[in-house]
Structure 1
Amino acid sequence: MDISTQTVITDTKLKSMSEEISREASRRRTFAIISHPDAGKTTLTEKLLLYGGALELAGSVTAKKKQRDTASDWMDIEKKRGISISSTVLQFDYGNYRLNLLDTPGHKDFSEDTYRVLMAVDAVIMVIDAGKGIESQTRKLFEICRKRGIPIFTFMNKLDRPSMTPLELIDQLEKVLNLHAFPVVWPLGNGQNFKGVYDRLRKEVHLFERVPAGEYKAPVSIRDIRDHLVKDLLSEQTYNEVVEEIALLDDAHGGFERDAVLHGMTTPVFFGSAANNFGVELLLRGFLEYSAGPSPRKAISGWIPLDNPHFSGFVFKVQTNMNPLHRDRMVFVRVCSGRFYRDMMIHHVRLGKEIRLSGCHSVFGRNREIAWEAYPGDIIGFVTRADFRVGDTISTDPNLVFEEIPRFAPECFAFLHNSLSSSYKSFRKGVEHLLAEDIVQVFHLQDHGSNLPLLGAVGPLQFEVMQYRLKDEYGVESRLESMPWEVLRWLDAPLNDTDLKRSLPHGAALGTDEQGRMVILFPSEWSLKYFSEKNPSTRLLDSPGKTK
C-alpha cells in the first residue's frame, strides 16, 4: 500500500469521525433550570422527566411526610429542608434528542454552584412565579446568563393560582431585565378561572380542566380561538380581553426570530402550571424546536470545534458520598469536543499526568449507569481518587486548556473546629472530602494564632450544610467560629508584605488562597474603599484573573 492510499484512508476515517461527532452533537440539548426559590423550578424538572419517560411518578419538593422524593433533590438535608442545595445532573432521552438537564440551587447562598453549572450549559429555562413576578435571585441569575450570551426560555408558572396579568409579566421581562419577550403561548384566564393557553405560532387552543387527582385531562386542541367551546368556557369579559390581547401581541410582538433567541436577545415565553402538569409539554417541545445543539468552546489557544478529533472537556462540579456505602467521589465533566469512550487515556492538564477514565457514568440524580461513550454537550461523571478540581481541563491533547472558571469573592468567614478529640480522624477526613467539592473556599492567614484554615462562603447556609454533612456522613460534631470580615479581594500582583501591612486599615488581614495567591480581608466595604483610596496603584480583584 503506497503513502497516497494510506492518506486517503486516514482522511476518509477522519471525515467519517467528524460527521459522526457532528451528527450526535446536533441532537444534544444541555440546559439548566434557574429561578428564585419556591418559583417551582424542581417541580418543573420532575414533570420534564415524566415526558422523557425517566420517571413514572413525579415527586414534590414540599417537605411533607410520605411524599415521594424528587429525583433531583436526593440529599437528606434537601429532603428535610424542601430546597435544592446542590446542582444535580439528569440525563434522559425525548424523541430523537439526548437531554442533559441540570437542576440548580435557587438560594443565593449557593449562587457559586449555580454559576459553575451555567458555565457547562448551552441554554436555560427561567421559571417565574406568575403571582410574584421577577424576584431578586432571578435577576442575579439572569445577569450571569446575559454576560455569557446564554439563550433563555421563560416559563410563567402557577397560572392555576391568582397571578399578575400576562401583560404585566411580559412588561416586567422587558423593563426589569431589558430583554425582548415573545409570548409563544398566551393564557386564558388565571387562578380558578384558568382555562388553558393559546399557542400563537400554531394557532391552537389547549384547554385545561381540573380533575380530582390535581392534574388536568388530556389536552384538547382547537384550531380557532373563536371556537364556541372556547367562548363557552370563558366569561364574556375574559374572552374579549383575551382576543384583544392576542391582537395587540400580533401587532407589537409579531414575527418570531429563532436567531434572536439563540443570541440571547429574545426569550420565548410559555405559561402554565408545573404542579398540575399543564403547559409543560408545550414548553418542552418549544424548547427543543427553538434551541440549538452545543456550540464550540473557547480554550486559551482559541475556539475548539465540536468535531475536533481530540476529546476534551472541563470539570464543573465535584461531589463526594453520592454512594455513602463506598465514600466515592464523583467528578462531573462537560464534554466539549471529540468522542469519549470508556477506559480511554486522557491528559490531566493541571497535574500534567495521564489518567485512565474507567469508572465513567451517565448520571440521573443519585443513580448512575455505565457510560460507554459520550459526545459534545454530554455531561459525564466518573469516580476517581485522582486530584480533580473545578475548572480542570481533561483532553487527549495535552496542549488544550480551557479558560479558568471564575471564583466568587466570599462574604462570610469562619474557622471550623472539631468538637470531640476522639473523632479527630473522622473530622479531618470529612473536612478534606467536603473541601474537595469546593463547597467553601479555603484561605490561610498570615500572623494569626490559629493553624486552622480560614473558610470563606458566599452565604452562611453553606457553612450550615457543611456542618450537617459532617455529622450525617461522617458522624462528627463541629463548632463554627465566625470571623468579622465581610469583604475579600485578591491582589493583582504580589506586593511587599511589610509595605502592605503598614497600609492595611484597622481590622483588615493578609492571607493566601489554596493556590498561594495573596488576598486581603476587610471588615467592611468602607474599609475596602479607604484602602483603595490610600493605595491607588494597588489593583484589587473580586475574582482571580479578573479586574475590579
Structure 2
Amino acid sequence: YHLERNQVRLFRSRSDKAAGAVGEVYDGLAHPEVAAAIREEATLLAESIELVQGAGATFEAAEFLAGRQTPVFFGSALNSFGLLELLDNFVDAAPPPLPRAAIERTVAPTEARFTGFVFKIQANMDPAHRDRVAFLRICSGRFSEGMRLRHVRLGRDIQVAGALSFMAGSRELAAEAWPGDIIGLHNHGTIQIGDTFTEGEALKFTGVPHFAPEIFRRVILRDPLRNKALIKGLVQLSEEGATQVFRPLNSNQLILGAVGVLQFDVVAWRLKHEYGVEASFEPTAVVTARWLQPRDAGVLEKMKDRLQDNLALDGAEALTYLAPSRVNLELAIERWPECEFRATREH
C-alpha cells in the first residue's frame, strides 16, 4: 500500500522478476479487485494504515534533505515486489548534485571545469586480475574517456583510460559522466580515499574522515613466510575503509581495528581466498586509538621517545596513539597539551 498515492499493489508470483513486473496496481482499498484479494484482512489493513497515518510524520522534502527524516519502504527483493515504488520515490526525493566544500573554496556543480574525489576503494572486484577500483564522485564539469586530469595529492597529471560505470553486478566503460555520477578508476596503489582529481586546480575536498576503531585484534599469521602477502592484503583491505591496520613502532606485530566483530571474520576470509594467506585474530591490550597532531617537530620527537610503547603507524603512515584504557588516554591527553589527540582523520 502506497500511503501518499492511496494505491494498492497486489502480489502475483511470476517467473519474470524484473523490477515492476510483479503485481497490479489499484486505486484505494475499496476497489473490487483489492477487496476480493485480501478479504478478511481488509479491516486489519485499514486499521494499520490509520495507525501509521496518525502516529507517523508526513513526508517533508526539506526535512529529508536536512537528514532529519527518512522514508521507509517495505517489499521483497527476492520477488522484485515493491522495488518499482522504491526506485520511483528515490528518483523523486533525491536532490540534484549539491555544492561540495573544499579546503580552498566551495565547488558548485554547475562549474565547467572537472572536479571529483575518491570516496571508496574496492580490492579484487575481479579476482582473476587482482584489480583495485577507486570510486570517484564527480562534483563539477564533464568527464570524457581519455581526458587528462590532475591527481592533486601527487601533483601528477594522468590520462584516464578505461574508466568504468557500474549497475548492480555489471560494469561497462564510461564514455562520459556528469556531476553526481560515480565512475571507477583502475587503481595500481597510487590512489587513496579522499584524493581529489581536477583539470589543474589545486583543491582538497573535505568530509571523508577515518573514524577511530572500537575493537582491536592482534594478527596471527599461520605461515611466517607469507608475511609480505599478509601486509599487502591488510593494507589493501584497509584502504576500503571498513578496517584499519596499525603497526606498533616498537614491535613487528600487526594490529587490526574495526567497528564490528564480524569485520574480522570477513578479513580472515578475504585474506585466505584473495591473497592466499591464512591468519587469525586474538584480543590485544588496546581499547581505543587517536591520531596525533603535535604542535611541532620537537614535541613529536619527545612523544616518540617517551610513548613508544603506545605509538603505531596506520596504513597511511599516520602516527597513532594506541591506548590500553580510557584512563590511560585521558592521562596522555592531560600530559601532552602540545599535541592534539584526534578521534578522526581526514583521508
Q: Verify same fold: TM over 0.5.
A: yes
Q: Which residue of 1 aligns with 2:265?
A: 464
Q: 2:204 aligns with which of 397, 401, 409?
A: 401
Q: Percent identity?
A: 37
Q: 2:292 aligns with which of 480, 491, 495?
A: 491
Question: What is the letter of the counterpart of residue 474 of structure 1?
Answer: Y
Contact 1:359–1:382 at 8 Å: present in 2 too?
yes
- 2:344 aligned counterpart, secondary structure: coil
Contact 2:235–2:315 at 8 Å: present in 1 too?
no
- Asked whether 1:294 is paired with 2:97, we answer yes
Give, in angstroms, the shift of residue 457 of structure 1.
Answer: 3.0
Does 208-217 or 273-282 show the bigger shift?
208-217
Distance 2:148 2:60 in 1: 43
Does 307-316 or 464-473 show the bigger shift?
464-473
- Asked whether 1:219 is paired with 2:23, we answer yes
Distance 2:52 2:275 in 1: 57
Distance 1:369 1:537 in 2: 51
Task: Please state which structure has a larger fraction of its residues in helix.
Answer: 1
- 2:119 aligned counterpart, secondary structure: strand
Give, in angstroms, the shift of residue 351 of structure 1.
Answer: 0.7
Give, in angstroms, the shift of residue 268 of structure 1.
Answer: 3.0
Give, in angstroms, the shift of residue 342 of structure 1.
Answer: 1.1
- 2:294 aligned counterpart, secondary structure: coil
Question: What is the letter of the counterpart of residue 272 of structure 2?
Answer: K
Change (3 A) 1:421 1:348: same
Distance 1:526 1:294 in 2: 44
Contact 2:216–2:283 at 8 Å: present in 1 too?
yes
Change (3 A) 1:266 1:247: same
- Asked whether 1:391 is paired with 2:208, we answer no
User: Structure 1 unaligned runs (5+)?
Assistant: 1-196
Q: Which residue of 2 aligns with 1:542?
A: 343
Cα RMSD (Å): 3.7
User: Structure 2 unaligned runs (5+)?
Assistant: none
Distance 2:265 2:15 in 1: 40
Give, in angstroms, the shift of residue 358 of structure 1.
Answer: 0.9
- Asked whether 1:272 is paired with 2:94, we answer no
Q: 1:525 aligns with which of 326, 329, 346?
A: 326
Q: Which residue of 1 aligns with 2:143?
A: 340
Distance 1:539 1:310 in 2: 37
Distance 2:112 2:271 in 1: 43
- 2:42 aligned counterpart, secondary structure: helix
Give, in angstroms, the shift of residue 269 of structure 1.
Answer: 3.4
Question: What is the letter of the counterpart of residue 204 of structure 2?
Answer: V
Give, in angstroms, the shift of residue 425 of structure 1.
Answer: 5.6
- 1:489 aligned counterpart, secondary structure: strand
Normalised by the length of structure 2, the TM-score is 0.80
Give, in angstroms, the shift of residue 326 of structure 1.
Answer: 2.5
- 1:269 aligned counterpart, secondary structure: coil
Distance 1:239 1:232 in 2: 9
Distance 2:346 2:128 in 1: 39
Contact 2:210–2:346 at 8 Å: present in 1 too?
no
Question: What is the letter of the counterpart of residue 483 of structure 1?
Answer: T
Question: What is the letter of the counterpart of residue 344 of structure 2?
Answer: S
Q: Which residue of 2 aligns with 1:260?
A: 63
Q: Which residue of 2 aligns with 1:311?
A: 114
Contact 2:287–2:325 at 8 Å: present in 1 too?
yes
Distance 2:303 2:271 in 1: 40
* Matched residue count: 343
Distance 1:240 1:341 in 2: 56
Contact 1:508–1:520 at 8 Å: present in 2 too?
no
Give, in angstroms, the shift of residue 436 of structure 1.
Answer: 4.6
Normalised by the length of structure 1, the TM-score is 0.54
Contact 1:415–1:455 at 8 Å: present in 2 too?
yes
Give, in angstroms, the shift of residue 545 of structure 1.
Answer: 6.0
Give, in angstroms, the shift of residue 244 of structure 1.
Answer: 5.0
Does 299-308 or 370-379 show the bigger shift?
299-308
- 2:291 aligned counterpart, secondary structure: strand
- 1:465 aligned counterpart, secondary structure: helix
Give, in angstroms, the shift of residue 535 of structure 1.
Answer: 6.1
Distance 2:265 2:142 in 1: 40
Distance 1:538 1:518 in 2: 12
- Asked whether 1:476 is paired with 2:280, we answer no
Q: Which residue of 1 aligns with 2:3?
A: 200
Give, in angstroms, the shift of residue 451 of structure 1.
Answer: 3.6
Q: Deviations over 1:19-62 (max 9, x none)?
A: xxxxxxxxxxxxxxxxxxxxxxxxxxxxxxxxxxxxxxxxxxxx
- Asked whether 1:363 is paired with 2:162, we answer no
Aligned 1:6-155 pairs, distance under 5 A = none
Distance 1:396 1:217 in 2: 44
Distance 2:7 2:197 in 1: 47
Question: What is the letter of the counterpart of residue 320 of structure 2?
Answer: V
Give, in angstroms, the shift of residue 417 of structure 1.
Answer: 5.4
Q: Deviations over 1:325-368 (max 9, x none)?
A: 32322221111111111111111111111111112111345542
Q: Which residue of 2 aligns with 1:283?
A: 86
Distance 2:156 2:215 in 1: 35
Q: Deviations over 1:172-216 (max 9, x none)?
A: xxxxxxxxxxxxxxxxxxxxxxxxx2x333332322356799999
Give, in angstroms, the shift of residue 218 of structure 1.
Answer: 4.7
Contact 1:295–1:306 at 8 Å: present in 2 too?
yes
Change (3 A) 1:202 1:529: same
Question: What is the letter of the counterpart of residue 155 of structure 2?
Answer: G
